Amino acid sequence: MYAISAAIAIGLSALAAGLGNGMIVSKTVEGMARQPEARGMLQTTMFIGVGIVEAIPIMGAVIAFMLQGR
């Protein structure tokens, strides 16, 4: 049962991160298309957002390892 819980934790966190990253990047590209002069600021903010979103699967993996250790 713990193996299934761990697989679900990793799978859902990876799915959520993928969707989040896709939304962040698409909105950034849209913003760059509308205002090319704001490219640098948008890119910096995008990289910070992607870094924060990437923490979600790492937390999912930690939870999965914790569940496997029981």
pTM for this prediction: 0.78
What pLDDT was estimated at residue 18?
Answer: 93
Q: What is the mean pLDDT of residues 25-32?
A: 96
Domain spanning 1-68 has what CATH number?
A: 1.20.20.10
What pLDDT was estimated at residue 65?
Answer: 86
Q: What is the mean pLDDT of residues 17-43?
A: 95
**Two tokens, residue 53:** 């979103």
What pLDDT was estimated at residue 32?
Answer: 95
Q: Which residue has the tokens 């995008």?
A: 46
Q: Quick check: 16 and 41 in contact, CB under 8 A?
A: no
**In the predicted model, what is the mean pLDDT of the chain?**
90
**Domain boundaries of the chain, sorted by first residue:** 1-68
